[in-house]
Chain A
Amino acid sequence: MQRFILKNKTAIAFISGALIALAFLSKLIARFVPGYESAFSWAFEGPMIAASVIGALPIFIQAYQSLRLKVVSIDVLVTIAVTGAFIIKNFEESAIVTFLFLFGAYLEQRTLNKTRNAIKALTEMAPESALRQNDDGEFEEVDVDDVDVGDILLVKTGAKVPVDAEVIGGEGSVNEAGITGESIPVAKEPGSGVYAGTILENGTLQIRAERVGEDTTFGRIIELVEEAQDSKSAAERFIDRFSKYYTPAVLVIAALVGIFSRNIELAITILVLGCPGALVIGVPVSNVAGIGNGASHGVLLKGSEVIRDFSRLDTMLFDKTGTLTVGDPTVAEKKYYGDKTETALDCLAAIERESDHPLAKAVLKDLGERPYPEVSATEVIKGAGIRAEVDGHKLAVGNVALMELEGIKLTPEMVADIKDFESRGSSLVLTAMDGELKALMGVRDKTRPGVKEDLVRLKRLGVKNLVMLSGDNQGTVDAIARELGLTEAHGNMLPEDKAAYVKRLITEDKQTVAFVGDGVNDSPSLALAHIGIAMGSGTDVAIETSDVVLMNSDFSRLPHALGLAKATARNMTQNIVIAIGVVLLLLSAVLFSDWMNMSIGMLVHEGSIMAVILNGMRLLRFKLRK
């Protein structure tokens, strides 16, 4: 019976609404039809009493249940208020208050569902079933929850990949937009990895499950989004604690007022006015809507604390390689001096082949296939380069410092070239053979396409300083800083120098700092900064360590992330102001005016709840202006 009533709360709200309408209709008729008046009080109060009783049922039940669990909920306040109104025979108020309360709850549920739709779109991508190979070698359909690590599964064209797995047979292309944000399908063949929640656009794949359920990348993303939406900032925890005592306090105040003023009407009005609805729901609604918007734009903000810090950002620090640049250095310009160039280049290739320095790789790629004479007596000089003997020649490969160290004479022409290369942002690789400079190479890493525009947008959003920290030489760093319009750029920095820099900004300059960088090398800085944003294709690391996760480490989502954080933080403040403002307004109205009664109180109260929900919903449509 109780469950039946609670399940049909919406129907009850509409019935009670209809009864109230009926009551007002007879009031209207009474005015025009003479003789109807004698029956009027019955025709008006009858439906009102019925509406009160029907409408109060679910509220009473909820109040009873929460009292049994020692929770003084809003239902309790409303129950007492309605009972009070009933006792003093104010049936009109009791009916309208119950109706508004139920109808408000109905509207709130409907609109709240909308704020969660953004996440729903994500969770609905979750695979439900899988084709698993049984002991006879046949494939049969099973629930995705029953798939274990190591199971062999079949994925057909158009189907979702059910788990994170390795391809062991077949070929096909997979749309991984849901996980990586990349909308161009990716080709898969045996040995490739596939992710749960992605869609096989063509081909057929046989896969072996590696991670299942909540352990998959997809499962973890959803888990993180949900956790983020529920995470509470210090302010919210305060509101929670506050409302725990607030509701009983309202009860006590109303009782005291009733006892001393002997005015039951006033006492029960206070009960209704004191309901804490908008205050309790305002901040979580902004949070859910803001994080929901992010999730559908490839941005995950991990909780309201992160939103708050991010929205107050002063300084954004960037790593260079792989963050502002593509992370794939290539030889952009070169110059050869004197004779025997080919011999020198063969020797250079042989030396670079044994190194795994990023510059060496770039040089090797540029040189192409060569005979690779034998290298001996290799000596690495830290921070300078390599010294070695190749095929009877003495070679030195490295930067300008190494040339000075080796006593290589540089002609004015060479010095001018070096300056020239550096000014264009190249890292230099100099090759000297038998005491003479033979080759000068400028290696450059292209800046990410569109990164300049993104930085401009960040600045427009109010980030005061955009600073690059890099291990590269100052010349290169300066050139990139000029190209991108950064505020500051510091070169020659080791990971620990970067961390110290972050620390200084936070403790000495009292700034709010975000660090955008490589998830592995820069992890100390990422951890120290208020907001850490890990880039890099290692999605797992990036997701775990970042406070703000950019899907597929897509730099261009950063401005949206920041704009959204600011909008969400603003929205929370607005909602708190609305909630507190309404309570103050109602209380002063009840004390200083005579038009305030229970029904108006309930109407304004439910109205303020709707106002904060609708205000929060604006975040779902948030989009950064170009």
Chain B
Amino acid sequence: MKSAVLQLETLVCPSCSQKIEAALKNLDGVQKDTVSVSFSSSKAKFDFDENTLNIEDAEKAVGKVGFEVLKTKIR
């Protein structure tokens, strides 16, 4: 299990974070209850299973709902 922090482009509406949260929760390998999207710092944080999920797929999923991922950190 690893935890990821995605730095996103500036989020404009608090409801944007709802979309990103839903998109990440829909992915296999993401721990659903660890997903949190911060409106003020424009960051998405979540834990995931590195054997099931490729982090690039998470970036793609966020991109697909319309938000650019600027930087990804994994620990």
Residues of A within 8 A of B (CB): 2-3, 6-7, 61-62, 65-66, 69-71, 73-74, 105, 108-109, 112-113, 116, 119, 145, 213, 226, 229-230, 240, 243, 277, 280-281, 284, 287-288
Contact, CB under 8 Å: A3 / B63? yes
CB-CB under 8 A from A112, the residues of chain B are: 10, 12
**B27-35, B36-44, B47-55: which lies at the interface:** B36-44
Contact, CB under 8 Å: A287 / B40? yes
Contact, CB under 8 Å: A243 / B15? yes
Q: Mark B2-33, 1 if CB is under 8 A from A, else 0.
A: 00000000101111001100110010000000
The distance in angstroms between the C-alpha atoms of A213 and B14, with both chains bound, is 28
Q: Mark B56-75, 1 if CB is under 8 A from A, else 0.
A: 00000001111010000101
Q: Residue on B with the closest CB to A230? A: B38
Contact, CB under 8 Å: A65 / B12? no
Q: List 25 interface pairs A-B (beta carbons < 8 Å), by A numbering.
A: A2-B66, A3-B66, A65-B19, A65-B65, A65-B66, A66-B19, A66-B65, A69-B18, A69-B22, A69-B26, A69-B65, A71-B19, A73-B19, A105-B12, A109-B12, A112-B10, A145-B73, A230-B39, A230-B41, A280-B13, A280-B14, A281-B13, A281-B14, A284-B39, A288-B40
CB-CB under 8 A from A240, the residues of chain B are: 14
Quick one: given A65-B19, A230-B40, are A108 and B12 in contact (CB under 8 Å)? yes
Contact, CB under 8 Å: B68 / A7? yes
CB-CB under 8 A from B41, the residues of chain A are: 116, 119, 226, 229-230
The distance in angstroms between the C-alpha atoms of A112 and B16, with both chains bound, is 14
Of B10, B19, B38, the residue contacting A69 (CB under 8 A) is B19
Q: Residue on A with the closest CB to B26? A: A69
Instruction: Report the minimum CB–CB distance from B57 to chain A (whole Å).
Output: 15
Q: Residue on B with the closest CB to A73? A: B15
The 7 closest A-B pairs by CB, nearest first: A229-B40, A69-B22, A226-B41, A6-B66, A288-B40, A230-B38, A65-B65
CB-CB under 8 A from A69, the residues of chain B are: 18-19, 22-23, 26, 65
> How many A-B pairs with Cβ below 8 Å?
71
The distance in angstroms between the C-alpha atoms of A173 and B13, with both chains bound, is 44
Q: Residue on B with the closest CB to A222? A: B41
Instruction: Report the minimum CB–CB distance from B31 to chain A (whole Å).
Output: 18
CB-CB under 8 A from A145, the residues of chain B are: 73, 75
Contact, CB under 8 Å: A71 / B22? yes
The distance in angstroms between the C-alpha atoms of A2 and B64, with both chains bound, is 8
Q: Residue on B with the closest CB to A214? A: B75
Q: Residue on A with the closest CB to B22? A: A69
The distance in angstroms between the C-alpha atoms of A7 and B63, with both chains bound, is 10
Of B18, B43, B66, B75, the residue contacting A62 (CB under 8 A) is B66
CB-CB under 8 A from B68, the residues of chain A are: 7
Contact, CB under 8 Å: A226 / B38? yes
CB-CB under 8 A from A288, the residues of chain B are: 40
The distance in angstroms between the C-alpha atoms of A230 and B40, with both chains bound, is 6
Contact, CB under 8 Å: A116 / B40? yes
Q: Residue on A with the closest CB to B42? A: A116
Of A3, A70, A116, A280, the residue contacting B64 (CB under 8 A) is A3
Instruction: Report the minimum CB–CB distance from B5 to chain A (whole Å).
Output: 9
Contact, CB under 8 Å: B66 / A61? yes
Contact, CB under 8 Å: A71 / B18? yes
CB-CB under 8 A from B22, the residues of chain A are: 69-71
CB-CB under 8 A from A280, the residues of chain B are: 13-15
Q: Residue on B with the closest CB to A61? A: B66
The distance in angstroms between the C-alpha atoms of A113 and B18, with both chains bound, is 20
Quick one: given A6-B66, A65-B66, A145-B73, are A226 and B43 in contact (CB under 8 Å)? yes
The distance in angstroms between the C-alpha atoms of A427 and B42, with both chains bound, is 54
Of A6, A62, A71, A226, the residue contacting B40 (CB under 8 A) is A226
Instruction: Report the minimum CB–CB distance from B9 to chain A (whole Å).
Output: 8
- Knowing that A3-B66, A6-B66 touch, tell me 11 more A-B residue pairs with CB under 8 angstroms: A65-B64, A66-B65, A69-B19, A71-B15, A71-B18, A71-B22, A73-B18, A116-B41, A226-B40, A240-B14, A281-B13
The distance in angstroms between the C-alpha atoms of A230 and B39, with both chains bound, is 7
CB-CB under 8 A from B75, the residues of chain A are: 145, 213
Q: Residue on B with the closest CB to A65? A: B65
The distance in angstroms between the C-alpha atoms of A213 and B68, with both chains bound, is 24
CB-CB under 8 A from B23, the residues of chain A are: 69
Instruction: Report the minimum CB–CB distance from A226 to chain B (whole Å).
Output: 4
CB-CB under 8 A from B38, the residues of chain A are: 226, 229-230
Instruction: Report the minimum CB–CB distance from B64 to chain A (whole Å).
Output: 7
Contact, CB under 8 Å: A113 / B10? yes
CB-CB under 8 A from B26, the residues of chain A are: 69
Instruction: Report the minimum CB–CB distance from A370 to chain B (whole Å).
Output: 58
Instruction: Report the minimum CB–CB distance from A187 to chain B (whole Å).
Output: 34
The distance in angstroms between the C-alpha atoms of A455 and B37, with both chains bound, is 40
The distance in angstroms between the C-alpha atoms of A69 and B18, with both chains bound, is 9
Instruction: Report the minimum CB–CB distance from B75 to chain A (whole Å).
Output: 7
Instruction: Report the minimum CB–CB distance from B35 to chain A (whole Å).
Output: 13
Instruction: Report the minimum CB–CB distance from A196 to chain B (whole Å).
Output: 16
The distance in angstroms between the C-alpha atoms of A112 and B43, with both chains bound, is 15
Instruction: Report the minimum CB–CB distance from A608 to chain B (whole Å).
Output: 14
The distance in angstroms between the C-alpha atoms of A115 and B26, with both chains bound, is 32
The distance in angstroms between the C-alpha atoms of A130 and B40, with both chains bound, is 29
